[in-house]
Amino acid sequence: MKILGISAHYHDSAAALVIDGVPVFAVQEERLSRSKGDAAFPLAAIESCLEHGGLQPEELDAVVFYERPMLKFDRILTCALRAFPRSWRAFPKAMKNSLGEKVWMRGIISSHLGVPGRKILFTEHHQAHAAAAFLTAPTRRAAILTADGVGEWATLAIGRGERHAGGATTIDMLREIRFPHSLGMLYSTFTAYLGFAVNEGEYKVMGLASYGQPSMAAEVRRLIRRTADGAFTLDLDYFEFHTTAERSYSSRFVELFGPPRNPYQPIDLETAEGRRFADCAASVQRVLEDTLVDIARTLRQETGFPDLCLGGGVALNGVANARILAESGFERVFVPPAPGDAGCALGCALYADRIHFGNPDRDVPDHPFWGPAVDGRELAQVAGEDGQPMEEIEDGVLIEQTADDLAAGLVIGWMDGAMEFGPRALGHRSILAAPHSAGMRDRLNRDIKYREEFRPFAPVIPIEMASRYFDLPPGGARLARFMSGVFPVKPEWRSRLAAVTHVDGTARVQTLERDMAPRLYALLEAYGQRSGVPVLLNTSFNVAGEPLVNRAVEGYSTFRRCGIDVLVAGQTRVMKCASQQARLKEEAQCSRNAAGSSAG
């Protein structure tokens, strides 16, 4: 059975193809359109899925959309009516932003793909999140917890899933919390208040939190009240996201926490104002964690299951995930590589396969590499046409050479095989560097990623060696498989892993099994032989404002524009010469000076 899943029209659209119960391809639209967070109907992603599967649209058995547009319409209309007349200006905008074409989704899918309306199915948004989390995890029975900003009405849902080998699958959602009461919206409100872009800047809040103290946690708790049944409600006097598209927090919120941050002013932690913002971030982070831990603990007791599958955008919060693992009583916590809305494309297709059609259970391969494959020959051709020195080398030699480069302090653009599905680079579209010095972190922030210094870089390490360098609780190595947990770096290693150790002594470590990315694993071993420490800094292969690179030509373009020294794609290796590096540095300095003088 051939099933296409689609998520679209909110942020980060995606498409996924499932054949005979197993994913064969999945990609976010942004990676193909090159527009970060592209929310458009994912035509390029769909085309890519069909091409990869060698299918014509009419050969699909079903096309599944990741939420029920009419339910979402109902929520927006209901909220607008409740808030009238305050909402009268927001309503058309909300309709346009959140719905637009969505209500007519069956017709749109049918006309774009030429498939009959009867083949088009819908799942609920949190069913898609739940399926993306549970059906991709190597477990047969698990509790399920999904949390995000909002889908149709649900913002948090709990349930349980069971898979019977070769037989039926059940996913029962037990309870849900409904809009406007939302942990995701609480966090996003602070994201906006702290001057970051909502839906993109949440991880910056998490990074900033490490610099602060949760000294305002009591104030945050006035915004979110726990209810007797273990759920919560937001005190809506502090929020405006449910009534207007202009601002997510109210004047009472500002009275409580002080003036919001001007997004154009850098955060200076030397000032009282800067520390207040860091404390705000730490406080909302603490309350989010406490709330999730409580809900997860209750779910553990209720289901009796030792495994928990986490889904929804909130599951990108690695600090909260690590606390859930440590404190809720679950023995294993699984977070898929794409827990957010893009992952719903895969989730809704799997849900349709197992639940709607009742197809027999299948194991889903336990990796994130469902995207287009990189072609080293394409890199050779582009670099050749550009007159750039390059070579095509046999793999064993290439790994040794790259390990030498890393040991010499060079920064490597590393492209290998099929692209990651989801927001994290997990070894196929990564920038790699030596993890030892703070100077390397600063260099990457300054010359390559062009981003705020309070955002940490992540380390990658062979799974067998992880507990030597990182304090992983039982189940921690699994949570770290897709970089879904933040754990302490052992104190004695912090100074030697300075580029990947956050200010609070933690790291968002990736534990790598050889089978998942054999070439990166071999590179870690080769680097370990040289440095004595088999750890590399692994950050996503992109510059600020751009999506992860997909094809070799995009990797090459990024390589030419920023301070990456060596680019590897497949068997092809391209090296930047010293004069090009010097010129790039000069240009970067000029643009910094220009930015400095225009700001002054």
- 8 Å CB contact between 252 and 237: yes
Residue 150 CB, nearest approach to Fe ion (Å): 8
Residue 122 CB, nearest approach to Fe ion (Å): 15
Residue 424 CB, nearest approach to Fe ion (Å): 17
Residue 418 CB, nearest approach to Fe ion (Å): 25
**Distance, CA of 286 to CA of 307 (rounded, Å):** 24
Shorter beta-carbon distance to Fe ion: residue 216 or 338: 338
Distances (CA, A) of 345 to 201, 338, 342, 564: 23, 10, 6, 33
By three-state DSSP, how is residue 145 classified? Answer: strand
Residue 454 CB, nearest approach to Fe ion (Å): 26
Residue 256 CB, nearest approach to Fe ion (Å): 28
Sheet containing 120-122, strands listed edge to edge, beginning at the edge strand earlier in sequence: 22-28, 14-19, 2-7, 62-65, 120-122
Distances (CA, A) of 42 to 26, 51, 127, 142, 159: 11, 14, 21, 32, 30
Shorter beta-carbon distance to Fe ion: residue 279 or 341: 341
Distances (CA, A) of 401 to 44, 223, 552, 589: 36, 55, 20, 30
Residue 246 CB, nearest approach to Fe ion (Å): 23
**Distance, CA of 516 to CA of 442 (rounded, Å):** 30
Shorter beta-carbon distance to Fe ion: residue 177 or 552: 177
Shorter beta-carbon distance to Fe ion: residue 136 or 283: 136
Residue 419 CB, nearest approach to Fe ion (Å): 22
Burial string for 445-484 (b: 16+ CB within 10 Å, else e) reads: bbbbbbeeebbbbbbbbbbebbeebbebeebbbbbbbbbb
Residue 341 CB, nearest approach to Fe ion (Å): 5
Question: Residue with CB nearest Fe ion?
Answer: 148
Which residues contribute to the site for Fe ion (CB under 5 A)?
Answer: 148, 341
Shorter beta-carbon distance to Fe ion: residue 341 or 554: 341
DSSP codes of every residue in 146-189: EE-S-SSSEEEEEEEEEE-TTS-EEEEEEEEEETT--HHHHHHH
Shorter beta-carbon distance to Fe ion: residue 18 or 338: 338
Q: Quote the tokens at residue 335.
A: 């977070």
Residue 128 CB, nearest approach to Fe ion (Å): 8
User: CA nearest 184: which of 129, 137, 134?
Assistant: 129
Shorter beta-carbon distance to Fe ion: residue 171 or 412: 171
**Distance, CA of 475 to CA of 16 (rounded, Å):** 29
Q: Quote the tokens at residue 80.
A: 């607008």
Shorter beta-carbon distance to Fe ion: residue 189 or 572: 189
**Torsion sign over Cα 45, 564, 457, 466:** positive
Instruction: Pick left, alpha or beta for residue 166 (phi over 0 → left; psi -120 to 50 → alpha; otherwise beta).
Output: left
Identify any residues that bridge with 507 across adjacent strands, giving them in sequence order: 487
